[in-house]
Amino acid sequence: MASGHRIAVVGATGAVGQTTLKLLHERKFPVRELRALASKRSAGKKVTFAGEPITVEELKPDSFKGVDIALFSAGTEQSREFAPAAVKAGAIVVDKSNAFRMDPDVPLVVPEINGETAKHHKGILACPNCTTIVTVMPLKPLHDAGRLRRVIATSFQAVSGAGIAGVDELRSQTLAWARGEALKPSFFQHQIAFNVIPHIDKFVEGGYTGEEMKLVNEVRKILAAPDLLISATTVRVPVFTAHSISVNAETEVKVSAARAREAFERFPGLKVVDDPAHNRYPMPIVAEGQDDCLVGRIREDISNPRGLNFWVSGDQLRKGAALNGIQIAELIIR
């Protein structure tokens, strides 16, 4: 492998881990050595990096000797257990789970928005939730233009956001429907094919879900706007890849649709797709495989003189997870 850094990918056999391996190669990240780590049941399997087969090792507390950067995408419990061990071994951890996001000592980083916070890490840096990232990308330039006052966000989240099991369930139910067989849910709480499920994660106080409160709390932390009013509804939809969010945003200073469009066009990591006359607008099928988040349906709120509506789609396996983590690692090595 090329000269550079010793990298560990934790959760290497999962959907985000696989995307991480792919993007490390695509972005020519300077990898000197790559260590693929996963649970005991995945140990011994092969993953591919830069055309080379890599044998997956079991994730253990002593797995990080000599590692410079550890990219974690293995889940909250595993991060809580093993990230401190990685830091103790001398590695810098970029964690994609919910384990450390709201820890005041851990930067919650979207590099295009608050990359400067990465300088203040104490060994662990956190990636936001995938829905948060796709949502906050257009919120940042709007916040800069007119200071956000209130945000209402409704997500339409792909099944791959729930992992490989979610993808398998949508595929198997769709095939069963085509064969005229009964559709039986086993992973999701309800049938997902040809249906939408209006909650993701467990319900918490007030009738909201954990996923919805992640969006609320994480957007506030990323934008350094602790008093920002946010209400969220998260929905699972029968789409394989890429999340979409319908956003209504109110600003303190009026921002016209034209000015918002200009702000979005200038912002790195955003691409405006907004030509309704020719039926061009963001869709998951278009966003899949792209690094940029796509924003469109930009229009002024006819019920609020300082309100805007827009629609954003983003590949949650790329910018929503793997890419954002690698961008943080790029900040670290710079």
pLDDT digits (tens, 9 = 90+) for 15-55: 999 999 999 999 999 999 999 999 999 999 999 999 999 99
Query: What are the residue numbers of the active site?
Result: 130, 243
Domains in the chain, start-ordered, CATH in brackets? 5-128+321-333 (3.40.50.720), 132-316 (3.30.360.10)
pLDDT in tens, 215-241: 999 999 999 999 999 999 999 999 999
The pair of structure tokens assigned to 284 is: 């998951």
120 conformational bin, left if phi > 0, alpha if psi -120 to 50, beta if neither: alpha
pTM (2 d.p.): 0.96
pLDDT tens digits, the chain, 334 residues: what are they?
A: 457 999 999 999 999 999 999 999 999 999 999 999 999 999 999 999 999 999 999 999 999 999 999 999 999 999 999 999 999 999 999 999 999 999 999 999 999 999 999 999 999 999 999 999 999 999 999 999 999 999 999 999 999 999 889 999 999 999 999 999 999 999 999 999 999 999 999 999 899 999 999 999 999 999 999 999 999 999 999 999 999 999 999 999 999 999 999 999 999 999 999 999 999 999 999 999 999 999 999 999 999 999 999 999 999 999 999 999 999 999 999 8
